[in-house]
Copies of this chain bind each other. A is one copy, B any other.
Amino acid sequence: MSREGLLIVVSGPSGTGKGTVLDMLRKANENVRYSVSATTRQPREGEIDGQNYFFKTVDEFKSMIEKNELVEWVQYCNNYYGTPKKYIDDSKASGIDIILEIEVEGAINIKKMYPDSVLIFILPPSFEELQRRIEGRGTEKPEVIAQRMEKARREFLEVDKYDYVVINNNVGLAVEDINSIIRSEKLRYSRNTDIRTQLGV
């Protein structure tokens, strides 16, 4: 079966618990890794270059942008963050499945650059439950909650751009869902067009 790794792009409104799901997925499936981002922010204590981030100067980062070496990038709090294309390509070639947790707009761009990427949208059990989760944090003012719900509603409108939808009602089941997606995607004929050669037919 396909020995190339998958590029798995995961999105979902804040409050769906996608961080927890992806952390557990990485523990359950050692072939899955987070993409390592490039950044211009200073390393914090204990952070290792090439493992937590690729630490870059602003000039280096801008040069990466110009040379199209990033599949996406953002500027946030005076620092740049981006996803190096080489890291994704090298990981895929060595059979590692790479997870990119990214907002909807970025995900759609990734799909254009990597048509064989797998886009997964993580959903709450219901929109009401999402509101309860966001309110449940108890730290936000009503206006902020309303803003977040409105943002979630806008993100939901883009769900039709995704290949798969996973409802996070139970973290363990959501992880099994994603593992099934990874396993079955590797069995797709479109990823195994050399199958007859492989089998000596």
Contacts and interface: CB of A to CB of B under 8 A. Distances in A.
B165 A201 contact: no
Interface stretch (A29-37, A38-46, A186-194): A186-194
Contacts of A145: none
Nearest to A188: B164
A45 to B, nearest CB: 40
Given A177-B187, A195-B159, A127 B201 contact: yes
23 contacts: A1-B165, A121-B189, A126-B199, A127-B199, A127-B201, A156-B196, A159-B189, A159-B196, A160-B189, A163-B188, A164-B187, A164-B189, A165-B187, A165-B188, A166-B187, A167-B199, A179-B180, A180-B180, A180-B183, A180-B187, A181-B187, A183-B184, A184-B185
Interface of A: 1, 121, 123-128, 153, 156-157, 159-160, 162-167, 176-177, 179-181, 183-185, 187-189, 192-193, 195-196, 199-201
